[in-house]
Amino acid sequence: MSNWKQTSIGEFIDFNPSESLPKNGKVKKIPMDRLGVFERKIKGYEFSEYKSGPKFRNGDTLVAKITPCLENGKTAYVDILDDEEVAFGSSEFIVLRENENSDSNFIYYLARSPLFREKAISCMEGTSGRKRVNEGALKRQEILVPNNKLEQQKIASVLSTIDDKIELNNRINDNLEQMAKTLYDYWFVQFDFPNENGKPYKSSGGKMVFNEVVKREIPEGWEVKSLYDIAEFINGLACQKYRPLNENEDYLAVIKIKEMNDGLSQNTEKVTVDIPEKHKIYDGDVLFSWSATLDVKIWSLGKGALNQHIFKVTSSKYPKYFYFFEISNYLQHFKMMAELRKTTMGHITKDHLIESRISVPPLKIITELEKIIDPYLENILTNRKQNQQLSDLRDWLLPMLMNGQVKVE
């Protein structure tokens, strides 16, 4: 540890550096919702006139300073701008920039570390629910850091290599998901599944029949059913009734809408393993959040317990890809209904599922596409599980690298 030094955060990092933006015209803005939970990559931007908010460039780190965003881990590395471009963001960001003492990538991982986060949280002030970091107090906090940038870069390189692989897997999955959706749409939305001669059915003059229920033409021999006809929708438990009796008891993570969207965290609740089997979640299960946030996803974060406000969707007749995409497509219909009514669709009921209407191909055609799409879905699931393992490894290494417990040669 002889090559590490004690310093204040304010001496090691520049806070909210001064930058200029044009007074007129729109520039790139990064709102709070474009930062994921413990995700390095920023999820895009919007264009807006600059009125207020911190300004930043590529290489800067954005840290949420307001509760609960700070506690939840909203911290990201800026790398989505053009060279020399300046953007701005939420007034609830702190911008961290390297100086002559520090490396930009090291700063990002320092800001993600429990060491930094605990100090930032200890500097929060204000009323409950609206607490913010006192930046002056945070700057005065003392930390132990490598004495030279080369050591900092070595540490950041270990962690960024893991994040690079995670982001590569995410890009691969995005492509696989797009390919699967494109095939599904080509076969079952455009109706150009292969005919008996291997030609696109509708484009090659396949017979279409007008259906009075769905008010459009569908291929001859297809049926009209409801979402409720093609799958079973199992609602979750009131999990508070199944809490473990003590810390040593085996448990399952409770999968609520937050976990479905953001993954597991230290705040994820637990239940005993002795819940009904139908309410247990496994990798590959289709989850459908039906209250407030309407979404459908394939679960990949290990065994869990199904909470209320989420359906686990299964089917004894139809393959997973078919009911997954059919529900995904119909969500747009539910959301459109809400938009037309200028209201928020509070939740989806059994009646909504029964009243829904979809065109269903013969099972033989569905099975043919399953042979093509299933490998895509399996690869997506494998990549997600690998990403979870990589995330666990990174999060295990992070605090030890940041306090010098593990040395990088």
| Confidence check: pLDDT of 344 > 70 | no
pLDDT band at 262; cut points 50, 70, 90: confident
The confidence score (pLDDT) of residue 1 equals 64
Higher local confidence (pLDDT), 113 or 347: 113
Q: How confident is the model at residue 341 (pLDDT cuts 50, 70, 90)?
A: low
Cα-Cα-Cα-Cα torsion 397, 399, 400, 402, nearest 10 degrees, comes to 110
pLDDT of residue 129: 75
Is the pLDDT at 49 greater than 90? The verdict is yes
Largest CA distance in the chain: 80
Residue 226 has a CB neighbour count (10 Å cut-off) of 16
Predicted pLDDT of residue 365: 97
Query: Over the chain, what is the mean pLDDT?
Result: 93
Residue 72: the pLDDT is 87
Would you state the pLDDT for residue 393? 96
For position 334, what pLDDT does the model report?
77
Query: Fold match between 4-147 and 223-360?
Result: yes
Which CATH fold would you assign to the domain 4-147?
Answer: Adenine-n6-DNA-methyltransferase TaqI; Chain A, domain 2 (3.90.220)
- CA–CA distance from 358 to each of 201, 206, 339, 366 (Å)? 19, 20, 21, 14
Helix, coil or strand: residue 85: coil
Question: What 3-state class would DSSP assign to 296?
Answer: strand
Higher pLDDT, 293 or 251: 251
Cα–Cα distance for residue pair 259/236, rounded to 1 Å? 14
Instruction: Examine the pLDDT at 345 and tell me if it is beyond 60.
Output: no
Confidence class for position 127, pLDDT limits 50, 70, 90? confident
Q: Among positive and negative, which fits the CA dihedral 76, 114, 150, 103?
A: positive
- Answer whether 40's CB lies under 8 Å from 76's CB: yes
Per-residue confidence (pLDDT) for residue 346, from 0 to 100 = 63
Residue 25, pLDDT score: 86
Tens digits of per-residue pLDDT, 90-107?
Answer: 999 999 999 999 999 999
27-39 pLDDT, tens digit per residue, is 999 999 999 988 9
Please say if the pLDDT value at position 88 is more than 90.
yes
What proportion of the chain, given as a percentage, has pLDDT over 90?
79
* CATH homologous superfamily for the domain 223-360: DNA methylase specificity domains (3.90.220.20)
CB 358 within 8 A of CB 189: no
Please say if the pLDDT value at position 128 is more than 90: no
CB contact set of 53 (below 8 Å; sequence gap of 6+): 29, 88, 89, 90, 91, 93
pTM of the model: 0.88
What would the mean pLDDT of 260-278 be, rounded to a whole number? Answer: 88
**Tens digits of residue pLDDT in 201-215:** 999 999 999 999 999
Question: What does each C-alpha distance from 267 to 73, 117, 260, 309 come to in angstroms?
Answer: 12, 16, 14, 18
Q: What are the domain boundaries of the chain?
A: 4-147, 223-360
pLDDT grade, residue 250 (50/70/90)? confident
Is residue 112 over pLDDT 80?
yes
pLDDT score recorded for residue 294: 86
CA 19 – CA 320 distance, rounded (Å): 51
More confidently predicted of 351 and 79 = 79
If you average pLDDT over residues 272-296, what whole number do you get?
92
